[in-house]
Structure 1
Amino acid sequence: MESGKKEEKKSFNRNIMEYAICLIVAFAIAMLFRQFVFARANVDGPSMMSTLKDKDVIFVEKLSLYTHAIKRGEIVTFYSGDAENNTYIKRVIGLAGDVIELKGGKVYRNGSELKEDYLDPNIYTQGGDFLKENVKYKVPAGYIFVLGDNRPISKDSRYIGPVSLKSLNGHVVVRVYPFNRIRTF
């Protein structure tokens, strides 16, 4: 009789161990997925209005950073690199080799004015500490030039300079909240 109880206890302990291992593996897979594939993020601030508003909930896809080149017009997230290492959300305006100029409130890339349908038509794009108006800037290799859609208040490449490709966190692929504004990018 005692040997039956020992077998039962062994079986119970084995089941507990199997469940624990399954939970640990599931947790590890979820963490790897979040770190390297897909993550949820909250928009903090109005610098991407009217495309993204403060408190919007978005999903950021990370895997394609390793599989395809960044495209102009994409919305990306990146680490600020400052002491707080904040995450910023901005639109890619220029790639390595592009010449960016701010002139008369408009953005020029390689001598042509950008058609920015996503901006409020009354937005005036002024220069900043890094890139002043009427100065041409060539984006160096390994970097991108980014701007927020709400230009008057956005802390972007006009102020912080170009963004290293190494600091990119992912591409914004969908806004999931608020529900009446669900949209893919």
Structure 2
Amino acid sequence: MFRAIDKFLTKILGPKDSALREWVESIFIAAVMAIFIRTFMIQAFKIPSGSMRMTLLEGDRLLVNKLRYGPKIPFTSYRLPGFGRPQRGDIIVFVYPEDPARDFIKRLIALGGETVEIRYGDIYIDGQLIEDPRINNTYYYNKGTYGGVGEKVKVPPGHVFVLGDNSASSHDSRYWGFVPEGNVVGRAELIYWPLNRMRLLLHF
């Protein structure tokens, strides 16, 4: 098979040491590597809205780590092993459950099996106040079907509950519910553009 491919390339592009063939092969290898990295390792995203202010601003460009939770195999529901599972406080990119053509970015607040409540602007999980500084530096508003006053919401197994840091202007789990873990693309790690905002995102 490889001999047939080599013969075909030689016919079209010339011998192996020809400049044209070396140039085409270099471009092809670079393209394959770029697709592999984007699919299984790291993907760039641009922030389209202010729902994560002031952590993330409109126009920020991020690198999202797909290896952290394990990359999905394209066109299947299977996921390769990762280095860990999504954790509370992580900033995650996920496929929006109500429109699979769109990716959202929010902060993970509650895991499957936990009960979450927004009380006087704070987050309570299973009745306990969350004191994680990544979470409790935001005032969370009681809004939506799953975020009303006195509403205690049980997160189904295999799902997560997410909120935007800019609670007053975020379309998040309060309105449309839960994110299946299978929809999670990866964890946001780095703002790389604009240069004056370049920094690692806090995940501990």
Q: Name the TM-score, length of structure 1 as normaliser.
A: 0.85
1:167 corresponds to which residue?
183
Given that residues 50 and 120 in structure 1 are in contact (C-alpha distance below 8 angstroms), is that contact kept between their aligned partners in structure 2? Answer: no
- Cα distance in 1 between the residues matched to 2:138 and 2:111: 26
Matched with 1:6 is none
Runs of 4+ that moved beyond 6 A: none
Q: RMSD across aligned C-alpha pairs, in angstroms? A: 2.2
- Judged with a 3 Å threshold, the aligned counterparts in structure 2 of structure 1 residues 124 and 143 are, in CA distance, closer, same or farther, namely closer
Mapping 1:21-40, distance limit 5 Å: 21-40=25-44
Q: How many residues align?
A: 176
1-side partners of 2:22 and 2:47: how far apart? 40
| Residue of structure 2 aligned with 1:90, choices 75, 83, 106 | 106
Partner of 1:51: 55
Q: CA deviation at 1:141?
A: 1.2
Instruction: For 1:66-81, list aligned pairs within 5 A.
Output: 66=70, 67=82, 68-81=84-97
Query: 1:65 is paired with a residue of what secondary structure?
Result: coil
Distance, in Å, in 1 between the alignment partners of 2:143 and 2:31 is 46
Q: Which has the larger radius of gyration?
A: 1
Pick which of 145-154 and 130-139 moved more. 130-139
Measured after TM superposition, the shift of residue 137 of structure 1 is: 1.4
TM-score, structure 2 as length reference: 0.78
Does structure 2 retain, via aligned residues, the 8 Å contact 1:124–1:152? Answer: yes
Structure 1 stretches lacking a partner, 5+ long:
1-8
Aligned-residue offset at 1:71: 1.0
